[in-house]
């Protein structure tokens, strides 16, 4: 005897509702798992973009220091230097776009923390160090004309 798909479906409405609820729960779990994987992938992509931008920045800094140390060697090196700066700017904008995409993907899921780039910034002057205000007296004579 050949079993068909209709034979596998129960005739009881309660059993049908339970099977439908189980199928919906599995679909929700799979959708949540897919969203979680998508968010983790977006975060990994953002980290990779940030790393590429950091490497390009470090490479550009090294080239600038070498140029300052050894001087300008040729017109070709100046073009390469300008091209490296453009590449760095593109990588930095890509990293920012990927960071925004990672934040949006993480916002759709509650289990993944968004990736936040650490942008370089100067640190504030520490509070525990002494501060002293020094007021210099104004000059009595004009430096330019001696008056």
Q: Are 94 and 62 in contact (CB under 8 A)?
A: no
pLDDT, tens digit, for every residue of 56-114? 888 888 878 877 777 766 666 777 778 888 888 888 888 888 888 888 887 777 665 66
Of the pLDDT bands very low, low, confident and very high (cuts 50, 70, 90), residue 146 is: low
Q: Are 108 and 42 in contact (CB under 8 A)?
A: no
Mean pLDDT score, 8-32: 82
Per-residue CA distances from 12 to 18, 46, 48 (Å): 10, 51, 54
Alpha helices by DSSP H, listed for the chain, are 5-8, 13-70, 75-108
Average pLDDT score over the chain: 78
Query: What per-residue confidence (pLDDT) applies to 1?
Result: 46
Cβ partners under 8 Å of residue 48, min gap 6 = 98
Mean pLDDT score, 101-129: 74
Query: What per-residue confidence (pLDDT) applies to 76?
Result: 65
CA-closest candidate to residue 43, choices 97, 94, 106: 106
Q: Which residue would you say has higher pLDDT here, 142 or 87? A: 87
CA-closest candidate to residue 112, choices 63, 54, 47: 47
Query: What per-residue confidence (pLDDT) applies to 113?
Result: 67
Query: What per-residue confidence (pLDDT) applies to 29?
Result: 85
- Given a cut of 60, whether residue 2 has pLDDT beyond it is no
CA 138, CA 116: separation in Å to the nearest integer? 48
């Amino acid at each position: 005897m050949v079993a068909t798909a209709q034979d596998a479906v129960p005739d009881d409405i309660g059993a049908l509702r339970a099977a439908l609820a189980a199928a919906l729960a599995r679909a929700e779990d799979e959708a949540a798992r897919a969203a979680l994987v998508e968010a983790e992938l977006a975060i990994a992509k953002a980290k990779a973009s940030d790393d590429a931008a950091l490497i390009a920045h470090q490479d550009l800094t090294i080239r600038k220091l070498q140029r300052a140390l050894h001087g300008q060697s040729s017109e070709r090196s100046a073009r390469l230097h300008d091209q490296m700066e453009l590449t760095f700017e593109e990588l930095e904008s890509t990293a920012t776009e990927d960071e925004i995409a990672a934040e949006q993907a993480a916002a759709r899921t509650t289990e993944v923390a968004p990736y936040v780039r650490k942008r370089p910034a100067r640190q504030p002057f520490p509070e525990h160090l002494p501060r002293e205000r020094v007021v210099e007296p104004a000059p009595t004579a004009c430096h330019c004309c001696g008056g």
